[in-house]
Amino acid sequence: MRTLLRRLRGAVGNAFLWGAGWFGIGLVVHTVIRVLSGGRYLWPWEFYNAVYMAAFLGVSGAVIGAGFSVFIAANYRNQSVERLSPWRFAFGGGLVTALVSLGLLLSRGWWIWPMDLPVLIAYMGVYSLVGGTIAFGTIKLAQRGDETDLLESGFEELPPHLGL
């Protein structure tokens, strides 16, 4: 039971991390496009539109992150974090992102054959790059966390060199 709860906690944490990553990327991209197109946020609801779009991407990212957790469980069980290649992990993240986001796009009825096929391919390419980048960051963060594991080090409080 304890192993199941640990895996579930890891899947929820991974989904949250991916959702936060997609939210941040969506907000930055929307704002950059808005600024480069000569626009600015004159009214509060214009910024809320950017936050709404970023929140939608964040929820999509959380679903993709949950799918990536299933991918991790299927392919990397019983392997230590130090031995995992960040580049293979990133490739897997891009592949899972493309497949799960394709499922999300198709389930929402956003794809009309054959008119939008180039747009769909562009979405899959961009989403795969973002998913691969977040997967790379996920494994690097896990490898860094494995080096500074405080749970088994016996610290009652955080060491001062962490700066928290």
What is the per-residue pLDDT across 26-79, written as a single tens digit (0 to 9) for each? 888 888 877 777 766 666 667 777 788 888 888 888 988 888 888 888 888 778
Cα torsion for 146, 150, 154, 158, to the nearest 10°? 150
Q: So what's the pLDDT on residue 87?
A: 92
- Would you state the pLDDT for residue 163? 45
Q: Is there a domain that residue 113 lies in?
A: yes
Q: Please provide the distance, in angstroms rounded to a whole number, between the alpha carbons at the two ends of the chain.
A: 33
95 falls within a domain: yes
Instruction: State which residues form the domain around 30.
Output: 2-147
Report yes or no on 14 lying in a domain. yes
Q: For residues 164 and 160, what is the distance between their CA atoms, to the nearest angstrom? A: 7
Amino acid 44: pLDDT: 66
Q: Domain for residue 96, yes or no?
A: yes
Is the per-residue pLDDT at 128 higher than 80?
Answer: yes
Mean pLDDT of 98-112: 71
Q: Please name which of 50, 20, 36, 47 lies closest in space to residue 130, comparing C-alpha atoms.
A: 20
What is the pTM (predicted TM-score) of this model? 0.71
Question: Could you tell me if residue 160 is inside a domain?
Answer: no
The residue among 139 and 37 whose pLDDT is bigger is: 139
Q: What is the pLDDT of residue 71?
A: 87
**129 is a domain residue:** yes
Q: Is residue 152 situated within a structural domain?
A: no
Question: Looking at per-residue confidence, does 35 or 112 come out higher?
Answer: 35
Number of domains in the chain: 1
> Is 37 within a domain?
yes
Q: Average per-residue pLDDT in the chain? A: 77
